[in-house]
Amino acid sequence: MDAEHDLEELATMVASLRRHLQRRERARIRNLPIDRGADGKAPEASQASWLRGLEGGLFSDDREAYRATSLEELRAAIGDCRRCKLWPGRTHLVFGVGNPRARVMFIGEGPGRDEDLQGEPFVGRAGQLLTDIIVKGMGLRREDVYIANVIKCRPPENRNPEPDEVEACEPFLLKQIELIKPRVIVALGKFAVQTLLKTKVPIMRLRGVWHEFNGIKIMPTLHPAYLLRNPGDKKLVWQDIKKVIKEFQPPVM
């Protein structure tokens, strides 16, 4: 079973690399860009973030996004995005909302109908449940945290995001995380968890256990939309959220 799993992972990586090379070919990119300063020298290693090395990878055709120093600059760099097949069906691109210096960042799957219409993540029924978790459960305001999704445009009929769509949006999510520098990420549902942790392990086996992403603690939990269909599992999410709350409490002397 392990060998079979490894072969599946390898096939996924090869397919992802092939799509990436095809995008580079369409963009007429023949070599890796080197970002040089006004003096013509390459940047010092000390200036690099944990995204260092991705400008020639995920960010190969998105140098403005790679260089962004604020969420506003990143949003401007994304522009009227047409990097995947979702753009023709969207009303609004749903970038993210909240405190740009938030200690807690919530990452979901993608916009639904209400989010597409309003241009803000988690504003429908699932969003109200997330707001209750933040306000009633954690004692915070919605504007105290930052909320975003893996993909920024609504899939048709709210279907699951497809691999090429996740691949197209992933650089922007990574840059959002790098700019916000949250202490904790609450990953909502399997797509957020599997995208960040690069795993196919089911969400029920991952939830409630601390993981790490480039020095940031990740708490995987269930998506609010799932809880609307399975209200009996709200207790599981509350168990996970209590661990997040404890993370911010001072140690008992």
Does a structural domain hold residue 37? no
- pLDDT for 94: 98
Closest among 60, 15, 6 to 164, alpha carbons compared: 15
Is the pLDDT score of 19 beyond 60?
Answer: no
Does a structural domain hold residue 65? yes
Contact 153/93 with Cβ under 8 angstroms?
yes
Q: What is the pLDDT of residues 75-104, one digit of tens each?
A: 999 999 999 999 999 999 999 999 999 999
- pLDDT for 26: 39
Give the full edge-to-edge strand order of the sheet including 97-98.
97-98, 146-149, 104-108, 184-188, 216-221, 211-213
- pLDDT for 90: 96
- pLDDT for 250: 75
Does a structural domain hold residue 182? yes
- pLDDT for 117: 97
Does a structural domain hold residue 183? yes
Is the pLDDT score of 253 beyond 80?
Answer: no
Contact 29/60 with Cβ under 8 angstroms?
yes
Is the pLDDT score of 27 beyond 70?
Answer: no
Q: What is the pLDDT of residues 46-85, one digit of tens each?
A: 334 667 656 666 676 678 888 999 999 999 999 999 999 9
Average pLDDT, the chain: 84
pTM for the structure as a whole: 0.79
Closest among 225, 220, 216 to 241, alpha carbons compared: 220
Dist CA 96 CA 185 (whole Å): 14
189: domain CATH number is: 3.40.470.10
Token pair, residue 232, equals: 């009996």
Closest among 167, 144, 14 to 85, alpha carbons compared: 167
Q: What is the pLDDT of residues 97-127, one digit of tens each?
A: 999 999 999 999 999 999 999 999 999 999 9
Is the pLDDT score of 178 beyond 60?
Answer: yes
- The stretch 223-234 carries a mean pLDDT of 97
Contact 179/100 with Cβ under 8 angstroms?
yes
Domain residue limits at 116: 13-28+49-247
Is the pLDDT score of 156 beyond 50?
Answer: yes
Higher pLDDT, 200 or 17: 200
Confidence category of residue 33, pLDDT binned at 50, 70, 90: very low
Does a structural domain hold residue 127? yes
Confidence category of residue 31, pLDDT binned at 50, 70, 90: very low
Does a structural domain hold residue 39? no
Does a structural domain hold residue 174? yes
Dist CA 102 CA 21 (whole Å): 35
Number of independent structural domains in the chain: 1
Contact 222/235 with Cβ under 8 angstroms?
no
Does a structural domain hold residue 4? no
